[in-house]
Amino acid sequence: MKKIIFALLVILSFTAAAQKKQPYVLYNAKGKKVGYEKMLKTIADKDILLFGEFHNNAIAHWLQLEVTKDLKEKRNLVLGAEMFEQDNQEALDLYLAGTIKQKQLDSMARLWKNYPTDYAPLVNFAKENKIPFAASNVPRRYASMVSRGGFTVLDTLTAKEKAWMAPLPIAYDAALPGYKKMVEMMGGHGGENLPKAQALKDATMAHFMLRYYQPGSLLIHYNGAYHSDFYDGLNWYLKKQNPALKIVTISTVSQKDIHKLSGEHLGRADFIICVDEDMTNTY
């Protein structure tokens, strides 16, 4: 009997140690730990999920795929991603339809360097399940133009180029917290045009999300967390165009101690993936 009790104590001690060594913890906006299934249940009732990632975070990318797979069992899906620019939509569609192979997609589209490990699994899941996938972002060269010369430079573009972004003029509120914080973080360097470039991206992503959104479906959009943190950026543009949308957000943060969410992250999103800062990155 004593041997059985000792064995149970050993098992319990290993279990406790394993729990302390888990790579991430899920929290809600108030900093309360929440289970994965509860998060899924909440998301499944919404119109749009904004999944905010750290671009090189392995846990965020793994969860993006797992969440997408699991939600596919509950809802019809539409996908979209910041990592694809709108002028690459045709190449993406050809790949999803099976008309071109991965090697051709590599040459026809501007894929991020971590595409093979982090985004190809999502695209291939969409291909296998015939899920529409929006290349939602503005071509980066136009965001760069705005960061140097403001919104007025967009007036010089051709009609074809303007079709790759949100309709002009771009709605803009410089008082939005995310844009104000961007100016503060830069210490005033970059002037007032830097947040305008960010706004062009946000407005364009929201525009193409809504173009691809199908009533009754759930649209999952993968983007850098900064674009949707604190219900800012993408949320503002989506709600401006359709106030009735039910939007849910996920963000990714990194901490040394993941067992209590830092105060700076409270309210960052509806669900927060708190990842151990020692977790391996994908680049």
Residue 7 lies in a domain: no
Rounded to two decimals, the pTM is: 0.92
pLDDT < 70 regions, the chain: 1-20, 188-190
Per-residue pLDDT tens over the stretch 189-209:
667 899 999 999 999 999 999
Domain with 215 in it: what CATH number? 3.40.50.11550
Within a domain: residue 9? no
Cβ contact 244:234 at 8 Å: no
Residue 90 lies in a domain: yes
Q: Please report whether residue 1 resides in a domain.
A: no
Identity (one letter) of the amino acid at 247? I
Q: Is residue 131 part of a domain?
A: yes
Does any domain span residue 75? yes
Q: In this predicted structure, what is the pLDDT of residue 185?
A: 84
Structure token digits, residue 50: 């904004």
69 exposed, middle or buried (CB, 10 Å; 0-12, 13-18, 19+)? Answer: middle
| Alpha-carbon distances of 7 from 2, 20, 116, 257, rounded to whole Å | 9, 20, 44, 30
Query: Could you give the CA distance from residue 39 to residue 34 in angstroms, rounded to a whole number?
Result: 7
Structural domain contains residue 110? yes
Q: Which pLDDT value is given to residue 19?
A: 56
Q: Which helix (H) or strand (E) holds 218?
A: strand 218-224
3-state secondary structure of 195: helix
Burial level of 243, CB count in 10 A (0-12/13-18/19+)? Answer: exposed
CA distance 267 to 177: 13
Q: Which domain holds residue 255?
A: 24-276
Asked if residue 12 belongs to a domain, the reply is no
The structural domain count of the chain equals 1
pLDDT of the residue at 227:
97
Nearest-angstrom CA–CA distance, 55 and 69: 20
